[in-house]
Amino acid sequence: MRWTPGGSSGDIEDRRGEGGPRLSGGGGGMRVGLGGLVLLGILSFVFKVDLISPFLGGGGGGGEPMPASAPRDPEALAREDRTAEFVNFAVRDIQDTWTELLPRQQGARYERAKLVLFRDAVQSACGPADAASGPFYCPGDGKMYIDLSFYDELDQRFGAPGDFAQAYVLAHEAGHHLQNLLGIEGQMRQRQRANPGAAKALSVRLELQADCFAGIWGNSAAKRDKLDPDDLEEGLRAAAAIGDDRIQRSAGRNPNPETFTHGSSAQRVEWFKRGFESGRLSACDTFGQ
């Protein structure tokens, strides 16, 4: 992406120096984000333990104390700070985009969300979370959360490097915030309670819509000449990398669409492209399809 380092943003809440409780299960309304199941899939594959099922099928919360973090080498911390600087730019740009687009397309005012940067573990209104949760949005406090180490996994293990791929992750979580503002999140929860058998299918539709919203931001960035020639491919590669089918394969399991909560790689790519090509919220009606 074409961006200039520097500049400050009131959109960032940096908690990287704090500790917190370790997550031991899903729940609490937390939208386990793009990376959560990726990291759980990796750990399941490495340690031959099924860590994914509780998040695909629900589960209780609760936590245990988080041990003190191991010291980090200065070079790694410097790289993290450079990533944080890009994240600061990307979140500001994403939210500036919605501040301009939402009134024009929906006649609604966009309320900016905070992005919480954390290291190892964090407490949110949706409960405790740790790095294995990946990026997520909490409707309870209207904040997005990310441990920046997730980007190393996205790059090194899932072959989705690049700054646009990193921004896509943030744009997806901002899409969940937009759903919360527009009442889509609450409506989906009501439908899940009314029809528990459709809960997973409805969750997939919510996630795919967030992908489509991320694509709308990409459309805006392209129009403003913020994208490099390979950036769209980066975004599509990232969308494909975190499809439920690919995550389940990485954990040594056969893909089971009945357990999907975020959508297949093909679905995620399709809906991101719809948003990117149209630039309009009206193109993102995943619930009407």
- What lies within 8 Å, CB to CB, of 217 at 6+ separation is 93, 94, 97, 98, 171, 174, 275
User: Rounded to 5 degrees, what angle do the CA atoms 99, 268, 238 make?
Assistant: 80
**What's the chain's length in residues?**
289
Report the pLDDT value the prediction gives residue 26, as an integer from 0 to 100: 40
Rounding to the nearest 10 degrees, give the CA dihedral for residues 281, 284, 287, 289.
130
Decide: pTM greater than 0.95. no
Confidence of residue 123 (pLDDT cuts 50, 70, 90): very high
Report CA 159 to chain centroid distance, whole Å. Answer: 17
**Torsion sign, CA atoms 223, 7, 236, 231:** positive
How far is it, in rounded angstroms, from Cα 223 to Cα 280? Answer: 13
Structure letter (DSSP) for residue 68: P
**Torsion sign, CA atoms 162, 231, 137, 33:** negative
Report the pLDDT value the prediction gives residue 158, as an integer from 0 to 100: 67
pLDDT for residue 277 is more than 80: yes
Mean pLDDT of 48-64: 40
Residues paired with 147 in a beta bridge: 118
Q: Tokens 């950036």 sit at which residue? A: 231
Q: How many of the other CB atoms lie within 10 Å of CB of 161?
A: 16
How far is it, in rounded angstroms, from Cα 245 to Cα 260? Answer: 8
pLDDT for residue 128 is more than 60: yes
Q: Is 210 helix (H, G, I), strand (E, B) or coil?
A: helix
pLDDT for residue 77 is more than 50: yes
User: Rounded to 5 degrees, what angle do the CA atoms 133, 88, 23 make?
Assistant: 15
Confidence of residue 52 (pLDDT cuts 50, 70, 90): very low
Cα(first)–Cα(last) distance of the chain, in Å?
32
Span of 55-64, 82-91, 123-132 with lowest mean pLDDT:
55-64
